[in-house]
Chains A and B, each alone.
Chain A
Amino acid sequence: AQKVTQAQTEISVVEKEDVTLDCVYETRDTTYYLFWYKQPPSGELVFLIRRNSFDEQNEISGRYSWNFQKSTSSFNFTITASQVVDSAVYFCALFNYGQNFVFGPGTRLSVLP
């Protein structure tokens, strides 16, 4: 069975703090994709990153970075120097062909000024 766990339901930080959102996944497949999406109050899901199971290189994009560790089945997301505009619900998702997408329950991030 496929499953995505985001243990942090809600996180509050003060602007300019760094924050890490945790994601742990379960799958029996060796080929899969991991995603992070941002859902602002307006409701749309905004794609942030896709990582395939064979690429464990960490990635940095501006203030965002992702740490993929197959050994612990984790795909954590860090925002450096958080800003108020980062306030949203963040979803981690797992995909493989034949199973389609499985989303985690989401982590609500509030960045306070």
Chain B
Amino acid sequence: EAGVAQSPRYKIIEKRQSVAFWCNPISGHATLYWYQQILGQGPKLLIQFQNNGVVDDSQLPKDRFSAERLKGVDSTLKIQPAKLEDSAVYLCASSLAGPGDGYTFGSGTRLTVV
């Protein structure tokens, strides 16, 4: 079974630029999550999708971050404009339903904002 795919693996941008990350979940997984992991901290949930609908985006900084999940499969997370404090690893995860159902993380995208 293929895992959760994310790209790019690394990205370096200047502050105020825009950036987008892509995630392809495990086939058949209805639920998709984006997490932000700042260096030295545990992951923090940004947004959760159930199919193509948003379930929880309470911790997403909506003034600069946006996410979509077209057709309930792939998802993109965008930051516009980026700030220095957005430097982090952005992890995507998927599960069949809740975390009792094969919750799997991707390898993440490491973003550096300079």
Question: Is A103 part of the contact surface with B, judged by Cβ < 8 Å?
Answer: yes
Select the stretch in A41-49, A60-68, A73-81 that faces chain B. Answer: A41-49
Question: What's the interface size class on B, roughly?
Answer: 20 to 34
Q: For chains A and B in complex, what number of residue pairs have CB atoms within 8 angstroms?
A: 49
CA distance A50 to B107 in the complex (A): 20
Residue in A35, A46, A97, A106 whose beta carbon sits within 8 Å of that of B41 in the complex:
A106
Provided the pairs A42-B107, A43-B108, A47-B104 are in contact, do residues A97 and B98 lie with their beta carbons within 8 angstroms?
yes
Question: Is B43 part of the contact surface with A, judged by Cβ < 8 Å?
Answer: yes
**Which residues of B pack against A, CB within 8 Å?**
33, 40-45, 48, 56, 89, 91, 93, 98-100, 103-108, 110
Please report the total number of A residues contacting B with Cβ < 8 Å: 22
B91 touches A45 (CB 8 A): yes
Q: Could you mark each residue 32-63 of chain A with 1 if its beta carbon is under 8 Å from any beta carbon of chain B, else 0?
A: 01010100001111110010100000000000
Q: Could you mark each residue 87-101 of chain A with 1 if its beta carbon is under 8 Å from any beta carbon of chain B, else 0?
A: 000010101010011
Hey, which chain A residues are within 8 Å of B100, CB to CB? 33, 50, 52
User: Closest residue to A93 on the B side, CB-wise?
Assistant: B42
Hey, which chain B residues are within 8 Å of A106, CB to CB? 40-42
